Structures are given as structure tokens and as C-alpha cells.
Structure 1
């Protein structure tokens, strides 16, 4: 386990050590989140690296990552805890068969921690060897408002109430990262308990550094062409522009095809790596992709 960073520069070094290229604004709010013990609320488009922040923080600090993947219909049984009903029934039957089934004593036994199934929220509040875990609440906007309201108790006091056992409170609060793709607005009451940061698409310079770190096999020319091409796509009116994850995937795919540079045919054949909607692919299939590539190569040649 590593100690928490003692400065913004140390936070930048921690992220960089895990090949996450962050700007100073992100490092600042992440440092303050850890220093103040406040959850960090990250908004941004899908694929810009929000979830990755929690992963690299976990690796960099040597702490366990606990991930709550949100979805529509997520309830307490899936997110917090539930009882192992099958094991409880076996215990009850065994007690009845042995003649030791005494009302209150049996109830206390079957509703003990032995039969409690801990889900991510409860796991995040438990003590862990090596320090408090990194607790990732991923894509919160996919849940409903009722579950969002339930999180208020957890984020306010880092505790949860199990009726049969009482209140369970974290001895050391976890490092909480909340992400949302902004498919709906999150209530202000929850946001007020967090520090906030908008994770935007990176500049061309920063994205080039990301590709160099994540796909070191790519030549300088290939990396430059990939980044410049993706940067131009993000200026188009597409249903879903490619994120950083798609940039990395595309560079990796081109390496697998033994490409040292991009050509129009390769772009056409690999658009499905960059774009995930047929309308977007179709828009680039009628010569638009070749035109973009021509502009990219011209601009890169002029810059040399």
C-alpha cells in the first residue's frame, strides 16, 4: 500500500506512473478529493477515461478496487447486501431436526453476519488490509432517482443500515469515484456531497502522448495520423464521436494489421473500430473518410 499523494504534483506523478496522462486540473481535484475525504464526481462523454481514473488510482496506491456498475433497476439486494436464504433454510432445518430450534436464538443465528452476502457498497465500508479501498460507482446516471437518494446516507456518513444487524459504519472512508455519462441529470443533493470535474476529450498533444504510452509499438507517423484523424472526427456532427478508448483500439488494430501509416482502404476497412453506429459509418463511407485522411496527411507534412 502507498500513502496518499501529499501534493498535486505527486498526484500527477501517481497517475503518470500508471500511464494515465492527466491535466493539472484533474490532478488538483483528485488530490483535494483524497485530502478532504470527499467523493469525486466525474462527468463526461463515454470513452474519455473516467472509469480508468479509479483503476489507475487503485493500482497506484496498491489498494483494492471495488466497482458498483450501475444499471436501470439496480436495487439494495444487488448493490448493498442480501441474505443467503438457501443457507438460512438449511440451518433452520438442521436446528429443527436436532431439536435445538429455539425461537429468538435461532433467529439471531440465521440473521448473523455468517449468512450475510456483501455486495459492493457494504464491501467498500468494511475494513481492508492495506487501507480503505477505491470505491467506483460507475455510470450512476443509469440508475433511477430512488437509488440515487439511497446513496445520500452512504456518501454523507459512509454508513449503511442493515435492519437485522444495525448500522455499519466505515472505520476509514473509502476513496469514492462516481462517474456519469450525463444521460440524465443527477440531483443537486448528491452533487453537493462531492467535488466535481468534467472530463473532456484530450487535446491533440495529450492524446498523442496517451497513444505513445498505451500503444508504444505504433510508429510516430502512425500515431500522429491516428490522433489527427480522430481529432477531426470529433468536430463532425456524428451520433457518437470516438473517445480515447476508440483511439487506442484503432491504433492497436492498425498495429495488428502491420500498418506503419494509414491509407484510405485501411480506414474504410477499420471504421468499425472507431465508430459504433451504422449511420456514422455510412456518412464516412462515401469518400468523406478519404478526404479527411488527405487533409490529415497534408497538414502533418506541412508541420514537419
Structure 2
């Protein structure tokens, strides 16, 4: 069975690495000056991830199949939080996940929070001893979920409404 090669956040790699990767994906071999050419006996399954911080070269994109992964639904995200952070109360986990889901669907954020930010926020709330998510504690810890000042300011102004929705 082939092995799997994961290259995470390929969009953060430089042009030289992208050129190197092109050689590997085209011929399943790589040339190392000190060693010569090394070929794969069995081509690996290569998985590239990208956050789209920059465009990849067309030559690399032609060698890829694309699959976009949406944010999980409320039930799945709650399951992720409960599994990864069992120390967070069920009530707090439900409140955080519900609010993050509302933030994502509002469509007004520069960068909607991902699952990592949901986990960070729940962890931050647990760290400060929060047992419930109210406007005051949400405002104080919002930076765990939102990474742009404009997003934080916009959401802070409507936290009361968002928390009661």
C-alpha cells in the first residue's frame, strides 16, 4: 500500500519548494545533488492543504484534485470541543459553539473563526474560570476567536444580541 505524504499549508512555502514539489509530483522522483536521483518504488498519496494566503502556481494546481472542507455543523463542532476539551462544561461548550456558528453565518467578518479558534476560545474561557458565556466574559476573551480588530469591534457592539439569539 502506498504511504501518505501530507504537506500542510503549501501556500506558505516559497517558490523554490513549490518547484521542488512539481518535480516530485510529475515524476515521483527527486534529484539531490549529493545523492543523485531518488525514485519512489510506489508513488505516495500526496495531500496538500492550503489556507489560500497566496495563489499557487498553475503548474502545481494542474497536478491536484481539489476538495473544499466546510466548517462543521453545530452538533459536529460541539462533539469536537467535548472530545478535545473534556474539562469544559457541556453548557459552556454549547454556548461557545452556538455563538461561533452564528459568527460564521453572519457574513460580516474579515476572517470567520475556524474550529481551532472555537477550541482556543473554549480553552480561554475555562482558563479564566467562566462557567457561562455572558457579554462581559465574551468581550474579554473575544481575541481567542477573532483575529482582526475590525471584527472584534463589530462583534463587541452586538454581543448582547448575539448571545440571546
- TM-score over 0.5 for the pair: yes
Q: Which residue of 2 aligns with 1:228?
A: 98
Q: CA deviation at 1:164?
A: 4.5
Looking at structure 1, the residues matched to 100 and 34 of structure 2 have their Cα atoms a distance apart, in angstroms, of: 54
2:89 corresponds to 1:210: no
Q: CA deviation at 1:174?
A: 4.2
2:146 corresponds to 1:279: no
Per-residue CA deviation, residues 173-209 of structure 1 (Å, 9 max, x unaligned), is 4442211112333344423433321111111111111
3-state SS in 2 of match to 1:252: helix
- C-alpha RMSD of the superposition: 2.2
Q: Which residue of 2 aligns with 1:248?
A: 119
Q: CA deviation at 1:272?
A: 1.0
Greater relative contact order (CA < 8 Å, ≥ 6 in sequence):
1
Runs of 4+ aligned structure 1 residues displaced above 6 Å come to none
Structure 1: runs of 5 or more not aligned: 5-36, 38-131, 296-304
Alignment equivalent of 1:186, drawn from 42, 47, 56: 56
Per-residue CA deviation, residues 203-254 of structure 1 (Å, 9 max, x unaligned), is 1111111111111122221111111100111123111111100101111111
Looking at structure 1, the residues matched to 113 and 124 of structure 2 have their Cα atoms a distance apart, in angstroms, of: 15
Structure 2: runs of 5 or more not aligned: none
The number of residue pairs the alignment matches comes to: 164
TM-score by length of 2: 0.85
3-state SS in 1 of match to 2:67: strand
2:136 corresponds to 1:262: no
Q: Which residue of 2 aligns with 1:153?
A: 23
3-state SS in 1 of match to 2:138: helix
